[in-house]
Structure 1
Amino acid sequence: MRITVPGGAPEHDPERTDLSDPHFYATGDPHAVWRHYRHKAPVTRLAVPGGRTYVSVTTHAETSTVLRDHARYTSRRGNMLSVLGEQDPAADRMMVASDPPVHGYLRRPVAQALSARELAARRPAVRRMARLLLEPLTGGEPWDLAAAMTAFPMMFTGALMGLPEADWPELTRLTTIAIAPADPSSRDDSGGHQLVSAHHELFDYFAEVAAARTPRQDLIGLLQQLTVADRTIRLDEVIYNCYNVLLGANVTAPHVIATTVSAFLEHPEQYRRLLDGDATVASAVEEGLRWASPATHAMRYATEDTRLGGEPVRAGEAVVAWLGSANRDESVFDEPYRFDVARTPNRHLAFGFGPHYCVGAPLARIALAEFFTEVTELVERFEPAGPVEHLASNFIAGIKHLPVTARLR
């Protein structure tokens, strides 16, 4: 997804732009469209091809309300535009597709295992992984940073889940298909979509892993021991939540890294501020998260007739909160289209908000901080080495190709 500074007439007619179209995010300019709606119609009904509608929400305040108020806006019917109007088979079985109190039963033990305190001892290992991944930069040849970064999350999430290293590349490929099924890279040899087969392969894989009787001392073992509403967790729930954890890990870190490095290419003075100590890696990571907004939206369904931003919302209507838009809201962020590695405060919603705040946020922050700490010790300046290609996905704002070279320190 291109990250532009809107000015003048939008490149696309906002009123005729289909924000559900995955290909628009590969070649279009969603930030200009979101800005139009923030200013003209922050809460409004939009349609997708076929006539189905949803309530579009583009401001920080209303997005926060939707994500926080699980009583009025349920997660049980699906959280992605790609399943608009359908029933989610994972309802009350998977963290992301459940509401409290079920959500709490599934989330609390996982959140504790993925807390910053529990993960602190893994920082050196994550740093070594980052160093290993960055090694090709030292050769001076063009290197596709975005493509290389897809391997990064599995290096720590795969280890936490106890998954064999030999399986990591295939699991990465399948999760990419799951979040970007419309992207050309997700098509098979005949040109067809691979989404259904990718889901089958992932669920079959975790079914085999979770059904094994050998006691596990890893994140999957923790899931197998959960109690949900005074009963032992079922096998299908273990499978769904393995999928949930893996998907969440694989869609954040690589795209934040690629988008942040892309921002450094466009704003080299910001990278220099980082090297000179005018900003911390921690603050740069937060700005990278805001700037990238890797999850473009979160969908909920209204459970009752209500009002949002002064507009009526009917019971049963889908509500799509655009996180990428909320993170450019002029009422919250000073000069929101300025990339600022020292930005403070930075109340971004890249990890969501409320009960569904990303359970893996501490792990993602550790991984990003260790990666960019390693970058600042190695790289004096990044330089572009080829065209940037964006992912065709209305759910993940991703860069799939970012060729760079680096002048080393």
Structure 2
Amino acid sequence: MTTTALSPAVLTDPTEPTDPARLTAPDRLTAPDRLTDPARLTDPELHATGDPHGLWAWMRTHAPVHRHPATDLPAFWSLTRHEDIREVYRDAAAFSSRHGVLLRKAALGDDPGGGLTLALTDAPRHKQLRSLMADWFNTRAVRGLEGPVRAATRTVLGRALEQGTCDVVHDIAGRLSLSVICHILGVPERDHEALYRWTNEAFEAHTSLVAHPRIVEYFEELLLQRMERPTGDLLSALVNGTVDGELLTEEEVVLNCENLIGATENGRLALIGGVQAFLEHPDQWQRLSEDRGLMPGAIEEVLRWTSSATHSMRVATRPYEIRGRQLAAGDRVVLWLPSANRDEEVFADPYRFDITRSPNRHIALAAGEHFCIGSTLARAEMRVLFSELLDGVRGIEQAGPVRRLHSIHVNGAESLPVRLTPA
């Protein structure tokens, strides 16, 4: 077995702002530029170049349940403690997903996919939609995907090695995540590159995939093909499956495809975040290279550490009390997941990246009824990528500064240039 040594020689650019994920807890609490205004949480610049973790740490202590007045965003409550966020996730009757799961400007109204997609439905419809898709994401199905996932991983890594210097975001993680979900949906391989280009355009513009006309047109065309000639893919199941004895509408099918494709952004950010975390903590990569038995724990720690979904939103369906604060029916509640996964009450030394961490009760993939349907697949993609890097790449070093996303919805690198040396 070839051991991969991730070179720490080029890890940061001194002209770049400090990545908040690399600060120690004391640094966070004493930094002179620490921001303690919760309103800054809705500023994408804070998440791209500032220290949201410093603000979340302050809020967990001083304002764990905080009311934000309306601005261009509707009024909402912020939750930053692991216990409170887990409670909201687990009480789907009291906290609805139907109106949208992300903050949107008030002028835009509720998410147009409300009540139509897996992510934006409540019981009982949520369970019924989930049952149509579950067979493609359960443990048995993911085991069956091991071959395609490994083949896709070797393809993207082979291209990256030929280039020598590449971007983990675009050349490895993005292509891998999209290739796998396209395989599940039944998108022909000849169309993967075009779909990858269109989804990147939407991600980079921070818009919904349904706002990209070519993506919608593509799935409408594919939908019609599956109506005439069903195959054994997930799109065929959506086209021909029923909920309450009725077929899904064309709009519901297209929106659910968009929902699944869109979810790959979180998956690829977890892959990217894992590579970045190991670059910044080469001792942990060395431990993994010496003991592959640590892989399951390493994957869970990467998920906790990256927490690629910055927030998730729910709407209260009835009056509810959290830590003495009274929420009213109709109130929006925003769950800050990276904060929950650094909660000092749950994680010992939470600002340390440790692949042997146990227990690791992170909620990076949500909890309760809306626990991520692709969680097993996401873990498999990470396991395969890290294994292939260990086996096929002798050295990886950062080849330029990291650029972080300007977003309050997802977090991670927008660009992570690396230099690969083949084994």
Q: What's the offset of the Cα at 1:17?
A: 4.5
Partner residue of 1:262?
276
Q: Which residue does the alignment assign to 1:121?
A: 144
Name the structure 2 match of 1:181. 205
Deviation at 1:380, TM superposition (A): 4.2
Contact kept? 1:264, 1:271, Cα under 8 Å: yes
Counterpart in 1 of 2:187? 163
- CA distance in 1 between counterparts of 2:218 and 2:319 reads 41
1:198 aligns with 2:211: yes
Which aligned runs of 4 or more in structure 1 are off by greater than 6 angstroms?
A: none
User: Residues 144 and 117 from structure 1, CA distance in 2 versus in 1: closer, same or farther, beyond 3 angstroms?
Assistant: same
Which position in structure 2 is the counterpart of 1:227? 242
TM-score scaled to structure 2, two decimals? Answer: 0.88
Can you list the C-alpha shifts for 1:7-40, whole angstroms capped at 9, x where unaligned? Answer: 4136342216421222322212111111111111
Are the equivalent residues in 2 in contact too, given 1:301–1:318 (CA < 8 A)? yes
Partner residue of 1:100? 123
Quote the residue 1:32 is aligned against.
54
Identity of aligned residues (%): 35
Q: Say whether 1:78 aligns with 2:92.
A: no
Aligned to 2:174: 150
Equivalent residue number for residue 10 of structure 2? none
1:32-66 Cα offsets, whole Å, 9 max, x none, are 11111111111111246437321000111111111
Q: Choose which of 76, 82, 88 in structure 2 pairs with 1:60.
A: 82
Q: Which residue of 364, 378, 385 corresponds with 2:399?
A: 385
SS in 2 for 1:396: coil
Q: Give SS of 1:239's match.
A: helix
- Aligned partner of 1:69 among 86, 91, 94: 91
Distance 1:351 1:51 in 2: 25
Unaligned runs of 5+ in 2: 1-18
Residue aligned with 1:359, SS: coil
CA contact (8 A) 2:94 2:317 kept: yes
Cα distance in 2 between the residues matched to 1:197 and 1:105: 23
How many angstroms apart in 2 are the aligned matches of 1:147 and 1:355? 32
206, 215, 226: which one aligns with 2:230? 215
Q: Which moved more, 1:169-178 or 1:310-319?
A: 169-178
Give the TM-score taking structure 1 as reference length.
Answer: 0.90
Matching of residue 132 in structure 1 with residue 147 in structure 2: no
SS in 2 for 1:100: coil
For structure 1, list consecutive stretches of 5 or more residues without a partner in the other structure.
183-193
Equivalent-residue separation in structure 2 for 1:180 and 1:21 (angstroms): 17
Of stretches 250-259 and 336-345 in structure 1, the one that deviates more from structure 2 is 250-259
Q: Which amino acid aligns with 1:77?
A: H
Query: In the superposition, relative to structure 1, how do residues 181 and 36 fare at CA in structure 2: closer, same or farther (>3 Å)?
Result: farther
Alpha carbons of structure 1 residues 202 and 34: separation in structure 2 relative to 1, 3 Å? same
Amino acid at match of 1:293: S
How many angstroms apart in 1 are the aligned matches of 2:186 and 2:394?
36
Q: Which residue does the alignment assign to 1:275?
A: 289
Q: Write the distance in 2 (CA, Å) between the matches of 1:169 and 1:19.
A: 35
Q: Which region of structure 1 is more displaced relative to structure 2, 194-203 or 8-17?
A: 194-203
Aligned partner letter, 2:146: R
1:339 to 353, 362, 380: 353
Contact 2:38 2:59 in 1 (8 A): no
Q: Work out the number of aligned pairs and report it.
A: 397
Change in 2 beyond 3 A, CA 1:241/1:38: same
Alignment check: 8 A CA contact 2:313 2:335 kept: yes
The aligned residue for residue 41 of structure 1 is 63
